[in-house]
Amino acid sequence: DVKVTQSSRYLVKRTGEKVFLECVQDMDHENMFWYRQDPGLGLRLIYFSYDVKMKEKGDIPEGYSVSREKKERFSLILESASTNQTSMYLCASSPSVAGNQPQHFGDGTRLSIL
Amino acid sequence: RKEVEQDPGPFNVPEGATVAFNCTYSNSASQSFFWYRQDCRKEPKLLMSVYSSGNEDGRFTAQLNRASQYISLLIRDSKLSDSATYLCVVRDVGFNKFYFGSGTKLNVKP
């Protein structure tokens, strides 16, 4: 089974802090993704990466950056946390090959910015 | 226009009922299609992939209509445990991006 592990289930931080969310996958997948999910807005893509050191902006990259130094690890960074970044953050991975290859999600991190 | 559109529901059905959800997608070149299930405050989990010829997994049947650009999910003999939000997901032709519908909420009542 694919395992995607997010470092924290719940996290509370203060406005202005630099926040790191970590994600690790054990299936040698090329693609990794960070989403946030808010009530009524569905899943929104923040950033994704299709290879080590490669990244592409998703739909809502403002206020976030990412790092992918190793294939199995994809980090999301909130440079200066703000209250509107309180949300559920979901990491996912998938292989890049053709065919019916789905995404697999981590358990999610519920982040509260006070 | 959104890439993937779903009726948000909720669909309120009694146990044992048959219920169907549809989902439309905008990119005719889309490659792969999936249904995910998401329970409240949990992560989305893959329910089933959707194949061109249609496919079945127990009480769940998925269909793809490329001509009309929609996929469907049929749940037979609904159980209380089927109560969840069902997300329609489309993978793009470049394989690297996935587009999610906003989800359809299902409530199965005793």
Residues 49 through 78 of chain B touching chain A, CB cutoff 8 Å? 49-51
Task: Round the average pLDDT of chain B to a whole number and report it.
Answer: 93
- Encode pLDDT of A49-79 as tens digits: 999 999 999 999 999 999 999 999 999 999 9
Residue of B nearest to A89 (CA): B43
Instruction: Provide CB contacts within 8 A for A56, sequence distance 6+.
Output: A47, A48, A49, A50, B96
**How far does chain B reach from its first CA to its final CA, in angstroms?**
38
The answer to whether B109 contacts chain A (CB < 8 Å) is no
A11 min Cα distance to partner chain B (Å): 15
The answer to whether A96 contacts chain B (CB < 8 Å) is yes
Q: Is the Cβ pair B42, A102 closer than 8 Å? A: no
| Residues above pLDDT 90, as percent of chain B | 84
Q: Is the Cβ pair A42, B97 closer than 8 Å? A: no
The answer to whether A33 contacts chain B (CB < 8 Å) is yes
- Encode pLDDT of B12-52 as tens digits: 999 999 999 999 999 888 889 999 999 998 999 999 999 98
| Residues above pLDDT 70, as percent of chain B | 99
Q: How many CB atoms lie within 10 A of CB A57?
A: 13
The predicted structure's pLDDT at residue B2: 81
Most confident of A23-37, A97-111, B87-101: A23-37
| CA-wise closest residue to B104 among B35, B28, B2 | B35
Q: Is the Cβ pair A107, B98 closer than 8 Å? A: no
Q: Is the Cβ pair B45, A42 closer than 8 Å? A: no
* Range of weakest confidence among A35-49, B63-77, B92-106: B92-106
pLDDT-derived band at B95 (thresholds 50, 70, 90) equals low
Angle in degrees, CA A90, A1, B63, rounded to 5: 75
| CA-wise closest residue to A91 among A70, A114, A73, A113 | A73
Task: Round the average pLDDT of chain A to a whole number and report it.
Answer: 94
- Average pLDDT, integer, range B84-104: 89
The predicted structure's pLDDT at residue A23: 97
Compute the distance between CA of residue B90 and CA of residue B23 in angstroms, rounded to an integer.
10
- Average pLDDT, integer, range A33-39: 95
| Residues above pLDDT 90, as percent of chain A | 89
| Residues above pLDDT 70, as percent of chain A | 97
The predicted structure's pLDDT at residue B67: 93
Compute the distance between CA of residue B29 and CA of residue B34 in angstroms, rounded to an integer.
15
Instruction: Provide CB contacts within 8 A for B18, sequence distance 6+.
Output: B74, B75, B76, B77, B78
- Per CB-CB distance under 8 Å, the chain B contacts of A108 are 42-43
